[in-house]
Structure 1
């Protein structure tokens, strides 16, 4: 496993979402429950896609959206109630119809990476419910993010079995 990035490294990427873990997130073990991490990562990814133009207008005018294909949630440190966290989406790769990214959740209170959610997402025609090519304008916006993120000097431990693959 590669070393975890530092707080200062991860925060080179804008925070897609930031909050303080509230009491409603606590589980019986006295820390944040996995469901809240998953939901926070998911909302942060939605925020990032909205920033890139995949919003209600995009879905209505183009009839397309993004569906999850694969997820892997990995834990490195716990988060307790009252601690401040943020999620930062790092773009990894893109193909014609899919992209691969990882959301990194950092705990600002402890200064450590708490967990990651690695994803493969498909661009989908909402009528046929099948993967469809990412339009050129959206692909260009994703590619700009990929270019910036490819220049980062730090890595995130990845699952190893996920990514953009050609279909057999």
Structure 2
């Protein structure tokens, strides 16, 4: 199973994660199962952690990690087994302990996203566990990714689930 992550260009946003839709991730309709979209986004979030200096070795050494507090997922178009997916991860905003990330999934080098996710992540001291401020070097990387996303329009962010009113009802 090929998994790869890298920073696009010169280290500016977005963080890129790539994967392939596996046979056991596909449902009875031949489409990627809804839960596996989140699995791919979870791996893409790991790539974000690597990019901000919280890779596995640093999480262990610092006794810190990131927890997902909230996630919203938009399914925009089905994808099938064998599709090559690319997830672009952007930091929309942050504070001393939290990151609001926006992730878009693309299939087979397509230009339009097949899915989008918005996530709120919390930096945690694992000895508690309890919320903890980012170390200065990590915060600087988070801030740089956020600045690099300035001007980006997250089309599927800040949405609430609701039924639109229908005329005549």
TM-score, normalised relative to structure 1:
0.80
Cross-structure match for 2:156: 157
- Partners of 2:34 and 2:130 in 1: how far apart? 30
Whether the 8 Å CA contact 2:93–2:101 is kept in 1: the answer is yes
Cross-structure match for 1:108: 108
Cross-structure match for 2:26: 26
Cross-structure match for 2:45: 45
How many angstroms does 1:21 deviate by?
1.7
How many angstroms does 1:15 deviate by?
5.5
- Partners of 1:68 and 1:115 in 2: how far apart? 18
How many angstroms does 1:30 deviate by?
1.5
Matches within 5 A, 1:124-163: 124-152=124-152, 154-160=153-159
Cross-structure match for 1:57: 57
- Partners of 1:13 and 1:32 in 2: how far apart? 27
Structure 2 residue matching 1:140: 3-state secondary structure: helix
Structure 2 residue matching 1:112: 3-state secondary structure: coil
Gaps in structure 1 of 5+ consecutive residues: 1-11, 162-168
13-22 or 49-58: which moved more? Answer: 13-22
- Partners of 1:145 and 1:42 in 2: how far apart? 18
Gaps in structure 2 of 5+ consecutive residues: 1-11, 161-169
Whether the 8 Å CA contact 1:101–1:118 is kept in 2: the answer is yes
- Partners of 1:31 and 1:101 in 2: how far apart? 26
Structure showing greater relative contact order (alpha-carbon pairs closer than 8 Å, 6 or more residues apart): 1
Whether the 8 Å CA contact 2:16–2:47 is kept in 1: the answer is yes
TM-score, normalised relative to structure 2:
0.80
- Partners of 1:141 and 1:108 in 2: how far apart? 29
Whether the 8 Å CA contact 1:69–1:119 is kept in 2: the answer is yes
